Chain A
Amino acid sequence: MKRSNEPVAWGLFGAGGMLLALVGPGLVVATGFLLPFAEPAAAFHAVDALIAHPLGKLLLLAAIALPLYHTVHRLHHGLQELHAPLPHGLVALLCYGSATVLTIASASWLLVR
């Protein structure tokens, strides 16, 4: 029997789900409620300082990329489960491809900042 490459997708899916469960509510509170009501200059400097630090960059990348892979994995398998009459390979390519493109874009932006 041929070894499946699904562990890669499932690993990213699992990591994303775990991260969302742990920091998701905190992110919603911080970005949705606290930042909009904070003093704009102070909020900008706080976020800027986070992005300036390598560890902050890494955390942000993880908080962006892993939930992305989590979401597209759900979409991919959800569409299959709903018996959507779409070509399996193309759906996989679009899902994981878009997550990868967005991950690379975020990483590049974080690196040049």
Chain B
Amino acid sequence: MSDSIAIYVARYRPGQDEAPTEQRYDVPLSTDLSVLEALNYIKDELDPTLAYRWSCRMAICGSCGVMIDGEPRLGCKTFLREFADRGELHLRALDNFPVERDLIADVERFMDHLETVKPWTVHNSERPVSEGEYRQTPAELERYQQFSQCINCGLCYAACPQFGRDDSFLGPAALTLALRYNLDSRDDGSAGRMAALNADEGVWRCTFVGYCSEVCPKDVDPAQAVNRGKVASTINYGLNLLRLARGEHDT
């Protein structure tokens, strides 16, 4: 193993650069150094002007997602040793989002979509605290637990060709969270979320490419969630037809 590795970082300074250009940094190589730690090394030792997001260093905050050799991955969960043989790697901000500066993507659109699906437990009526907690059996927890592991890192949006094509698509993480709360026995908000799921911009823009599930660092499997959303939306469509046939209101 050579003792250093060339890291090419796409730099972009708003107002100064026309488009991102790559800048090379040589970082000392060690087997336990992550891409995020390498960025910290560059910032501390080589170039204090480099901009990137990070916080927890342990794949739970979801801040350090970048394109690593063209693949959306978490900087903290990817190690330089993987690229040691090639002696170089290339970093750029997450695909499918506008670049704010250097490795920082503007994920505003993703945040808007998250809000659309109301990713919190909705109660029709609030229970007084004196009545105790909302209890759940292990089986009820099991129904949604996998989908609750999402850390909102946005890697699935950088992976999704449909979101890249048209960012009005609610996208993998938002649709997964919609299902996560719809499956929660404590939640009453399912009807409110279905309008978003039922739209073209909802589950129906997805064509089951499945790359979102491949890149998910928490094994949430958004592709499965979105396709279960399609089943739910199809049932909802049928029930709505029945309501219309009985002369009731379109929902």
Question: A residues near B, CB below 8 A?
Answer: 1-4, 6-8, 10-11, 77, 80-81
Q: Produce 1/0 per residue, B205-234, CB < 8 A to A.
A: 001010000000000000000000010011
> Contact size class for B?
10 to 19
Q: Which of A6, A11, A80, A81 has the most CB of B within 10 A?
A: A6
Query: B interface, by DSSP: helix, strand, loop or mixed?
Result: helix
A10 and B161 contact, CB distance less than 8 A: no
B161, B198, B250: the one contacting A4 at CB < 8 Å is: B198
Query: In residues 193-210 of chain B, which contact A (Cβ within 8 Å)?
Result: 195-196, 198-202, 204, 207, 209
Q: Given A3-B240, A81-B161, check contact A10 B230 (CB 8 Å).
A: yes
CA gap between A1 and B204 in the complex, in Å: 12
Which single residue of chain A is at the shortest CB-CB distance from B161? A81
Smallest distance from the beta carbon of A5 to chain B beta carbons, Å? Answer: 8
A1, A7, A77: the one contacting B234 at CB < 8 Å is: A7
Smallest distance from the beta carbon of B229 to chain A beta carbons, Å? Answer: 11
B161, B195, B201, B237: the one contacting A7 at CB < 8 Å is: B237
B233 and A7 contact, CB distance less than 8 A: yes
Smallest distance from the beta carbon of A24 to chain B beta carbons, Å? Answer: 20
Residues of B within 8 A of A77 (CB): 207
Which single residue of chain B is at the shortest CB-CB distance from A6? B204
A10 and B196 contact, CB distance less than 8 A: no
Smallest distance from the beta carbon of A73 to chain B beta carbons, Å? Answer: 10
A1, A10, A80, A81: the one contacting B202 at CB < 8 Å is: A1
Question: B residues near A, CB below 8 A?
Answer: 161, 195-196, 198-202, 204, 207, 209, 230, 233-234, 237-238, 240, 250
Residues of B within 8 A of A81 (CB): 161, 207, 209
Which single residue of chain B is at the shortest CB-CB distance from A8? B237
CA gap between A77 and B205 in the complex, in Å: 10
B207 and A4 contact, CB distance less than 8 A: no
Which single residue of chain B is at the shortest CB-CB distance from A78? B207
CA gap between A80 and B202 in the complex, in Å: 17
Sampled A-B contacts (15; CB under 8 Å): A1-B196, A1-B202, A3-B195, A3-B199, A3-B237, A4-B199, A4-B200, A4-B204, A6-B200, A7-B234, A7-B238, A8-B237, A10-B234, A81-B161, A81-B209
Smallest distance from the beta carbon of A20 to chain B beta carbons, Å? Answer: 16
Which single residue of chain A is at the shortest CB-CB distance from B162? A81
CA gap between A11 and B161 in the complex, in Å: 23
CA gap between A6 and B237 in the complex, in Å: 10
Smallest distance from the beta carbon of B241 to chain A beta carbons, Å? Answer: 10
CA gap between A11 and B195 in the complex, in Å: 19
Residues of B within 8 A of A2 (CB): 199-200
Q: Given A2-B199, A3-B237, A4-B199, check contact A10 B204 (CB 8 Å).
A: yes
CA gap between A53 and B240 in the complex, in Å: 34
**Sample of 18 more A-B contacts, CB < 8 Å, known A1-B199, A3-B195, A6-B200:** A1-B196, A1-B201, A1-B202, A2-B200, A3-B198, A3-B199, A3-B237, A4-B202, A7-B204, A7-B230, A7-B237, A10-B204, A10-B230, A11-B234, A77-B207, A80-B207, A81-B161, A81-B209
